[in-house]
Amino acid sequence: MTATNRRAFLKTATAAGAGIILAPQISKAGVSKQKQNKSEVNIAFIGCGGRGRGHRKRAAMTEGVKITAFCDIDPEAIPKAQKVLKDQGHPEAEVYSDGEYAFKEMLKRDDIDGVIIATPWLWHTKMAVAAMKAGKYAAVEVSAANTMEECWDLVNTSEETGMPCMILENVNYRRDVMAVMNMVKQGIFGEVVHARCGYQHNLLGVLFQPKLKFGEGATGEARWRTQHSLKQNADVYPTHGLGPIAKMLDINRGNRFLYLTSTASKAVGIKDYIVEQGGEDHPYAKLPWKLGDVITSTIKTTNGETIIVTHDCYLPRPYSLGFRVDGTDGTTNFDMGTKRIYVEGVSKKYDQWEDFQKWQDKYDHPLWKKYGEQAEGSGHGGMDFFVTREFINAVKEQRQPVIDVYDAAAWSAVTPLSEASIAQGSAPQYFPDFTRGNWMKRKPIKFE
């Protein structure tokens, strides 16, 4: 089935009344019954910076993947991207670079099946929406959306077009994360009641590069990411921690995020850094940096679990996503530097942590057992391999990805909800039910 045919099919399906409840019904099994697997798929790219290049390199290595087009408006990014293709034995691709909306031209092509989007945050949703409207599978980097309206844009567009949208949350595929998910699903911790996670990463060097530059004339993420710290007081980057915990707790599949409260500490870390690097009189030291150094959000789920999500990016703290999972039979902390576990009646000493490695080995996820060696050469310790692979497989198998548009919306919603809570003195904010009640019927899904 060509892309044009697929669009025609989807229009028919919509016209026939499946309408907005189409997408929840397209389970992995559902779609593959209706559609045939594709042995070859064409993947396009919007954004060819560091992150986009990584995805492209991994896609180009995958059997049955063609790359005939990509889009970037940074002239420096284009030759680098072509070189990656060439080095991997692919022909050069057609480049779309004529202005910020060049991606729309690219999306008109009939030969593209899926699009991977790795651009600054404010472009994620509009590009994913355009991709879905053009009948392409959309994969979007984290976070998928910036506002509540954008969360709905993703969901509504996916339901209306029938096109899947995957949020490329690589941490869901971290080896220890998948082992713990495996343990959770096998009931090792009994009934899970509490979890912790977050993004604790000293970004001061990233936000000002080269030294004390941000915005125009800066490099990398300092060109656009720093602005969010100046203007927003919110957890602007919740999904690395929350994605894995959400999947462990079957969020949107029998469980749902119900509400959160968020509290911001004062914002003094960035100023402190600027003064250290540029002195008291540096003009940036006088800017009203708004994003609190530590944002603490506590989520309550409909099933009664609580989750603490932390955003902590402006203080000198060793990197950690600070994972913790607590249940009626045991608990684990798995964190850079400290991985430990205690399982009642199994751990040898009462009330004493034991080392995680033995458990890691025993509960290593089947995906890692199978592809671990292949994965380890790819980005971020191997997890990037799996996230790119799952998107490509979903396109090939014409099915919903394991991480779907409801995940993208619910996880990304923490940004606008935390902003509202902080602005209202930590008043609780309710999550919209992006599944429109279908979370009660939807079944847990396996990573495979």
* Residues that bind a copy of itself in the complex, under the rule CB under 8 A: 190-191, 193-194, 202, 259, 261, 263-266, 268-269, 272, 292-294, 296, 298, 300, 303-306, 308, 312, 315-319, 326-331, 337-338, 340, 342-344, 351-353, 425-428
Q: How far is the CB of 195 from a copy of itself (least distance, A)?
A: 9
429's enclosing H/E stretch is strand 429-430
Q: How far is the CB of 303 from a copy of itself (least distance, A)?
A: 7
* CA–CA separation, 48 and 137 (whole Å): 18
Q: How far is the CB of 421 from a copy of itself (least distance, A)?
A: 9
Q: How far is the CB of 196 from a copy of itself (least distance, A)?
A: 9
Tell me if 266 sits within 8 A of 293, measured CB to CB.
yes
3-state DSSP helix/strand/coil % of the chain, to nearest 5: 45, 20, 40
Residue whose CB is less far from a copy of itself, 62 or 263: 263
Q: Please enumerate in sequence order all residues whose Cβ is within 8 A of that of 447, keeping only pairs 6 or more positions apart, or say none.
A: 172, 173, 178, 181, 247, 365, 367, 390, 402
Residue whose CB is less far from a copy of itself, 1 or 427: 427
Residue whose CB is less far from a copy of itself, 124 or 196: 196
User: Do the bridges between strand 114-117 and strand 137-140 make them parallel or antiparallel, or are there none, so unpaired?
Assistant: parallel
Amino acid at position 55, single letter: H
DSSP structural state of residue 90: P
Tell me if 139 sits within 8 A of 117, measured CB to CB.
yes
Q: How far is the CB of 209 from a copy of itself (least distance, A)?
A: 16
Helix (H, G, I), strand (E, B) or coil at 283: helix
Residue whose CB is less far from a copy of itself, 17 or 425: 425
* CA–CA separation, 398 and 37 (whole Å): 6
Residue whose CB is less far from a copy of itself, 65 or 204: 204
Measured CA angle at 115 (ends 4, 9), to 5 deg:
25
Q: How far is the CB of 410 from a copy of itself (least distance, A)?
A: 18
- DSSP string across 325-368: EEESSEEEEEETTEEEEEETTTSSSTT--EESHHHHHHH--HHH
Residue whose CB is less far from a copy of itself, 272 or 397: 272
Residue whose CB is less far from a copy of itself, 189 or 368: 189
Q: How far is the CB of 290 from a copy of itself (least distance, A)?
A: 13
Helix (H, G, I), strand (E, B) or coil at 179: helix
Residue whose CB is less far from a copy of itself, 158 or 200: 200
Residue whose CB is less far from a copy of itself, 272 or 364: 272
- DSSP string across 181-245: HHHHHTTTTSSEEEEEEEEE---HHHHSTTTT--STT--GGGGTHHHHHHH--S-S--HHHHHHH
Q: How far is the CB of 1 from a copy of itself (least distance, A)?
A: 46
* CA–CA separation, 280 and 277 (whole Å): 9
Q: How far is the CB of 385 from a copy of itself (least distance, A)?
A: 25
